[in-house]
Amino acid sequence: MSPSGGVTRNTLRRQISGALRDEVLAGRLPSGKEFTVKQIAEQYGVSATPVREALFDLASQGLLVSDEHRGFQVRAFSAGDYHSIVQARSVIVEGIFSGCHPITVRGDAMTSLRRRASEAARAARGGDLDVLVGYDLRFWRELSAFVGNPNISDFLATLRVQGWVFLVHRLRTSAERDRLLWLDHEALAEAVAAGDRATVLAILRAYYAREQEWADRLLIAELSATDGR
C-alpha cells in the first residue's frame, strides 16, 4: 500500500471511530444495538478495512462488544460498572496530583485548557449535555496530558468516555440533572495554572466524592431491583 493510502486509511479509521463514539454518546446507537462492518461501511460509503479497524478500536476502549458471528454490539454499562469507573478515575487522578513533582504547565497548553474549561462550564450551566460532553472530554484529556505519560492519559480518557456513555442518557431524564452537572472546570484550571496543589486536590476530592455518592445510590438501586425480581 502506498504511504498516501496508509494515511488516508488511518484518517478514515480515526474519523469513523470518532463519529461512532459520538453516536453512542448521543444515544443514536443505544446500548445493545447490533451492527456489522458491512453495514457501517455502507453507511459511511467507505471500504471495510478502516471500518473494521475503527470498530476494533472502540471495542478495545470497552464501548463495543465484538462477536465473531454477529458482528458488534454497543456495550451496556451497569451501575456497578459506573461505580468502578468513578472509583478508578478518582484513585488515578488523586495519585497524579498528590505526587511530589510540582505542577508545571506551558503557556500554550494552559491557554487551551482554560478555553476548554470555559466552554465546558458554560455548557454545564446551560444544561447542554451534547456540547458539555465534547468539551468535558477534551478538558480532561488535556489536563491528564500534563502528566507526560500517554498510557495514563489514554486510560483516563477511556474511563471518561465510558462514564459518559453510562451517565449521559440518565442525566437527560433526571430531575437532579442541574445539581449533578459539574461546574468547576474553570476553578480547577486556574488552580492548576497557579500550581496550587492544595486547591487542585480540594476541588478534585469534592468532585469525586459527589460522583461516588451518586454512583453508590445507583448501584444500591440496581441491586435492589435485581433482588426484587
Q: Tell me, what's the pLDDT at 90?
A: 94
Looking at the fold, whether 91 and 61 belong to one and the same domain comes out as no
Looking at the fold, whether 177 and 120 belong to one and the same domain comes out as yes
Q: How many residues make up the chain in this entry?
A: 229
Mean pLDDT by 10 residues, the chain (229 residues): 52 92 88 92 92 94 88 92 94 84 76 96 93 94 87 93 90 82 95 92 94 90 78
- Domain end marker among 49, 74, 99: 74
| Alpha carbons 229 and 224: distance in angstroms, whole number | 9
| Alpha carbons 29 and 25: distance in angstroms, whole number | 8
Looking at the fold, whether 97 and 210 belong to one and the same domain comes out as yes
User: For residue 144, which of 94, 187, 184, 77 has the smallest C-alpha distance?
Assistant: 94
Looking at the fold, whether 86 and 168 belong to one and the same domain comes out as yes
- CATH code of 117's domain: 1.20.120.530
Q: Tell me, what's the pLDDT at 3?
A: 40
pTM (predicted TM-score): 0.86
Grid cell in block for residue 86: 468513578
Looking at the fold, whether 29 and 92 belong to one and the same domain comes out as no
Q: Tell me, what's the pLDDT at 63?
A: 94
Looking at the fold, whether 153 and 190 belong to one and the same domain comes out as yes
Looking at the fold, whether 69 and 85 belong to one and the same domain comes out as no
Structural domain of residue 48, as residue ranges?
Answer: 3-74
